[in-house]
């Protein structure tokens, strides 16, 4: 499988994982759940600060506060546009470095483990998974656990239920 990952860093925090780790985590999610018949995927991860996360969350979800990860799946047009986005493009993730760091500290999780969880969670959203209904949440969380376990990362939901 080939993954092309563009990483944009709009946060000045120094504890943001490397592009290599972000790609490793995204690839793990794709390898577990994606139909990769032609073996190619593209996506963008934008690491944002609290202000940008809050603006995106307010404008796209109606929630006026920063959040850990937002996903923006690419919805290709029904017709081909020359020179436009690749058919392999999944979409964009906006991950708020400050919120991820705060959550990791509050939940007493290893920071990189929580980052991995946010990347996996976001990629699953790009692939159509959701957690609005309880039945969907159970399925999505089970996938997250499996993917993270393959990366030797403990269950992010341990102790929550």
The domains found in the chain, sorted by start residue, are 2-150 (3.40.390.30)
- pLDDT score for 159: 72
Burial of 79 (0-12, 13-18, 19+ CB in 10 A): exposed
Q: What is the pLDDT of residue 136?
A: 92
> What does the pLDDT read at residue 35?
66
Q: What pLDDT sits at residue 33?
A: 80
Give 92-144 as a 3 state SS string: EEEEEHHHHHHHHHHCCCCHHHHHHHHHHHHHHHHCCCCCCCHHHHHHHHHHH
pLDDT by residue for the chain (161 residues), tens only, comes to: 889 999 999 999 999 999 999 999 999 999 988 665 567 899 999 999 999 999 999 999 999 999 999 999 997 655 565 566 667 889 999 999 999 999 999 999 999 999 999 999 999 999 999 998 999 999 999 999 999 999 999 999 997 75
């Amino acid at each position: 499988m080939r993954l092309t990952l563009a990483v944009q860093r709009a946060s000045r925090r120094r504890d943001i994982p490397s592009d290599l780790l972000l790609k490793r985590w995204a690839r793990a999610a794709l390898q577990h759940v994606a139909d990769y018949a032609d073996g190619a995927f593209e996506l963008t991860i934008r690491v944002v600060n609290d202000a940008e996360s809050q603006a995106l969350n307010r404008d796209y979800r109606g929630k006026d506060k920063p959040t850990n990860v937002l996903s923006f799946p690419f919805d290709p047009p029904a017709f081909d546009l020359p020179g436009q986005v690749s058919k392999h493009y999944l979409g964009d993730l906006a991950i708020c470095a400050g919120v991820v760091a705060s959550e990791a500290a509050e939940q007493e999780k290893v920071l990189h483990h929580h980052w991995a969880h946010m990347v996996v969670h976001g990629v699953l959203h790009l692939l159509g998974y959701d957690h609005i209904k309880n039945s969907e949440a159970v399925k999505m969380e089970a996938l997250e656990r499996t993917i993270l376990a393959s990366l030797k990362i403990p269950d992010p939901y341990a102790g929550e239920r």
